[in-house]
Structure 1
Amino acid sequence: MARSFRLALASVVASAALLGGAIVAPSAQAAPSAPTAEALAAKTALENLKPQPTDAASVIDGIAAANKLLETLKITPFTPTVGACTDFTLASAVGGAIAGPNTPLVGDLTFSLLGKEVDLNAVRKGEILYGFVPVGTFNDTGSKKGMQVAWFNVNTFQGSIGEPMDGLGETIVKAVTKRVAETGIPGAEILVKDGLAKIADAVPSNGVRGGIVETGSGTVLSAIYGTIKKGDATCFFFPSLGIATAK
């Protein structure tokens, strides 16, 4: 699927290029700046976060399955974590990250055409896609807001708290559709959206979350935390901690 999808995208882009479609070259990355107050707050928050204790007997099997899903998507798992729910239960989970250029389940969607680089990846250079997989049954019929990312780039001294997450499948689809729209290829959005819909179907919803963050290149300290609905209850997940290297 991944190979045929990449070939289809290449054909669409190549056709538009040969017909005279304009392709804009990537812009140069800005020089690192001094850390902002928000970045310093993110760094402080990340330094103060501690992994929360979990009941090993109840999380091993679930965490193994969560890790397997992340690894299938080429997302590197973070530390496992636990969610405290308002129905007096605990839910285990694990987060993870993948740096660009990449598109989960598809691979690198970067093409060189007529001397120009066309990047249709869900995650581009200088960006990180975060994923979060809880164990158990969750309610995804309503809003998928609630999970967030805190990050700090130790090379640029930039960072942020509270970067929002959404459904992982939806995040991938929306990102690639946006990339194609930016190329100005007429009608390509529909072709890509239909293709990615099949890929999104392979990513379970049921509480699985994703978010793309523009971190810039460097080593990025990260924490994924927040809330997910579980029936009539709400689970607050303590931070899943990890380090990712953005190109």
Structure 2
Amino acid sequence: MTVVRRLTTLTAIATTAAALALAAPATASGAPAAPATPAAADRPGVARTAAPNDLLGAYQAAIDALRGFGMDPFLYPTAAAFCSDDATLGLVPAVAGAVPGPWPKTAVNIPGLDLTAVKAGQTMFTFVPYGIAPDTSTVSGMRVAWMNLSNGRSGLTSMGPLSDIVRAMVPAEVPQEIRPLAERAIQDFFFAALPVGGVRAVPVDTGSGTVLAAVFGTVENAGRSCFFLPTIGLTSVR
């Protein structure tokens, strides 16, 4: 199946994804729980607890976090059902976003050092769920199907853990003995605003133009395989 047909199929179930992500009515015996906003996190490596009646709040917090990193949020949220014991239908909400390179943008210019993790002509796609336990050894399962509407490029790419991006952000010229310290500092910076478990990202050589993409797939949550319905977005790459 071509990427065009994949994207067409994914678009057809877009409204289902949006409905699942935002639907969780309260009951008389208890309200649906949703993951806490990024500000509630106290340290890396600790899963966030659920907060009642806050799926919409978690969604907005995730959007704000993505925008804070210079990313374009996708058009609507997504969710995985039967993924958690802390919410109605076990719903775990998530958002996705994209950031065109070069990224991160910095005014620091050090001759001989490339401080960008996402190069010009690349797009980094990111997936951010709320309410997933810290990752173990299983970090595969999320994918991005993308198409550059301007140059015709397309592909289906697997997404990896945030640690892959963290390593890429430390220039190769940094001495090996201090690389772990640099990586930890960058990781702590990300985890101050993003949840710990299930975050996925990947830079893709999309080239310049308008890029349409769909992010979907599975994330492990404390032994459960959680399937997240597709969410679709557009981003402009220079």
Same topology, TM > 0.5: yes
Among 155, 158, 168, the alignment partner of 2:150 is: 155
Deviations 1:1-29 (A, max 9, x none): xxxxxxxxxxxxxxxxxxxxxxxxxxxxx
Distance 1:95 1:190, change over 3 A: farther
For 2:161 and 2:107, locate their aligned partners in 1 and report how far apart those are by CA, in whole Å. 21
Other structure's SS at 1:49 match: helix
Per-residue CA shift, 1:13-53, capped at 9, x if unaligned?
A: xxxxxxxxxxxxxxxxxxxxxxxxx8xx1122112212122
2:141 matches 1:146: yes
Match of 2:78 in 1: 81
**Which residue of the other structure, out of 102, 106, 113, is the alignment partner of 1:108?**
106
- 2:224 maps to 1:233: yes
1:112 shift after superposition: 7.5
C-alpha spacing 1:237/1:154, structure 2 compared with 1 (3 Å): same
Question: Which one of the candidate residues 213, 217, 226 is aligned to 2:208?
Answer: 217
Paired residues of 2:216 and 2:229 also in contact (CA < 8 A): yes
Counterpart secondary structure, 1:95: strand
CA contact (8 A) 1:109 1:121 kept: no
Root-mean-square deviation (CA), in Å?
Answer: 2.4
Structure with more helix by fraction? 1
Q: Distance in 2 between matches of 1:42 and 1:70?
A: 26
Q: 1:189 to 1:223 in 2, by over 3 A?
A: farther
2-structure distance, mates of 1:55, 1:131? 17
Percent of pairs with identical residues: 32
Which sections of structure 1, spanning at least 5 residues, go unmatched? Answer: 1-37
TM-score normalised by length of structure 1:
0.70
TM-score by length of 2: 0.72
Shift of 1:149: 0.7
Distance (whole Å) between structure 2 residues aligned to residue 153 and residue 240 of structure 1: 17
Cα distance change on mapping 1:125 and 1:153 into 2, 3 Å = same
Q: Give aligned pairs, total.
A: 194
2:161 maps to which residue?
Answer: 167
CA distance in 2, matches of 1:143, 1:233: 11
How far residue 131 of structure 1 moved from its aligned partner, in angstroms, is 1.2
